[in-house]
Amino acid sequence: MAENNQNAMAGSAPAKQKPAVSKGGGVNKPPVERADPNPYNRSRLSDIGAWLQDRFYVVMPVIDYLKKKEVPKHRLSFWYYFGGLGLFFFMVQIITGLLLMQYYKPTSAEAYASFVFIQREVSYGWLVRQIHAWSANLMVLMVFVHMFSSFFMKSYRKPRELMWLTGSVLFVLTLGFGFTGYLLPWNEIAFFATQVGTEVPKVMPGGAFIVNILRGGEEVTGETLTRMFSVHVVLLPGLLLLLLSAHLLLVQILGTSAPIGYKETGRIKGYEKFFPTFLAKDAIGWLIGFGLILYLAVVLPGPIGLEANPLSPAPDGIKPEWYFWAQFLLLKDFSFEGGELLAIVLITLGAVIWFMVPFLDRKASREEKSPIFTIIGLLYLAGLVINTWRVFATYGW
């Protein structure tokens, strides 16, 4: 009886459809449904918007991704904008640098003359040159503030170690821009300051080789100028763009971190969309920054100076740009025998510790407060500020 019931149930089940056979003897397979390569083509847009969307729809997933990213809002949120300001001043550097390159000639015979020509003869050349100079200083300042604010908020903690490392290298490259660009006007101050700056590695073992690499010879000459120019406009921008892309990619993947304990204690007031809310606020900061550059360029223009003369004595009060003042004074303070080498070792050791902070601060990686590293950061900052002030008080601006 059970067997008859099973046969009856089997007989009542729908028969499996056999694949259709084509006249040629092959099997007709059902069509495969494939995803629309442009899922945005059915959205309602203007004719221009539809035209752009049909051709650039590949960026739409990126925009959708950015819309999902959120930035925490708390009482220290304003520190997040300094990184964007540093990026903005770098873009100003690229644009103004390209304009200056149309007239500048990187040879010892023509560099100063072309520099003066830009200042006095080219329409608005003086303004472009002043914007370039001031944006360089503000770029260093913004990256400096961004780095220390990230340090004190412990933004380097797990899993953002690579963000800290790429950011630290970006800071070094930013200083490299200032060092290599300082000589390009080929005036007296720039010439002798570069001579002093490139002399420092000589006290190190194998330092003479480093000096020859920097100068292109034993002395600061036209070869040094050409070398600094090529590093300034080709090598450093290429490296910086590469590291900057990696840094920004990590920021988007890992997101913006909040200070330790803010989530647990309810000090985060909410979250705002990275795109377009946070970027819109960033853009307002960029407009303010550009207004500041214009003000400084018009009200506080840098001097042209005298043309470099290697045979003339160095003028009094030679010093590097302000962002090297702290290291400059440390070398001055350690002017005793063997002191300069000791100063270089201390500077190098401090830089290595700073780079390795994410791996040394285990407490922060466990989301625990680490006051020892906060104190270390305060000592670093205090040393830089005090030594910079001492140079200003001694030599002036």
| pLDDT tens-digit series, residues 176-230 | 999 999 999 999 999 999 999 999 999 898 889 999 999 999 999 999 999 999 9
- Give 126-156 as a 3 state SS string: HHHHHHHHHHHHHHHHHHHHHHHHHHHCCCC
Does residue 154 lie in a domain region? yes
How many whole angstroms separate alpha carbon 361 and alpha carbon 166? 18
* Residue 34: pLDDT band with limits 50, 70, 90: low
Does residue 187 lie in a domain region? yes
- Mean pLDDT over residues 32-57, rounded? 66
Beta bridge partners of 271: 72
pLDDT at 18: 55
pLDDT at 19: 54
Does residue 218 lie in a domain region? yes
Does residue 144 lie in a domain region? yes
Kindly write down the DSSP assignment for every residue of 247-313, as one continuous string.
Answer: HHHHHHHH-PPPPTTTTTTT---EEEEIIIIIHHHHHHHHHHHHHHHHHHHHHSPPP--PBP-TTSP
Host domain of residue 180: 64-308
How many whole angstroms separate alpha carbon 379 and alpha carbon 289? 29
Residues whose CB falls within 8 Å of the CB of residue 356, separated by 6 or more in sequence, listed in order? none
Q: Domain tally for the chain?
A: 1
Considering the entire predicted model, what is its pTM?
0.85
Is 50 exceeded by the pLDDT of residue 293?
Answer: yes
Helix (H, G, I), strand (E, B), or coil: what is residue 38? Answer: coil
Evaluate whether 321 touches 182 at the Cβ level (below 8 Å): yes
Alpha carbon separation from 190 to 72, 109, 180, 218, 320 (Å, rounded): 44, 15, 10, 18, 8
Q: Output the six-digit token pair for 334.
A: 């350690």
What is the CATH number for 100?
1.20.810.10
Does residue 389 lie in a domain region? no
Does residue 339 lie in a domain region? no
pLDDT at 17: 54
Count CB neighbours of 304 within 10 A.
16
Element (H, E) at 71: strand 70-73
Does residue 110 lie in a domain region? yes
At 81, give phi and psi (nearest 5°): -80, -15
pLDDT tens-digit series, residues 304-348: 999 999 888 888 888 999 999 999 999 999 988 889 999 999 999
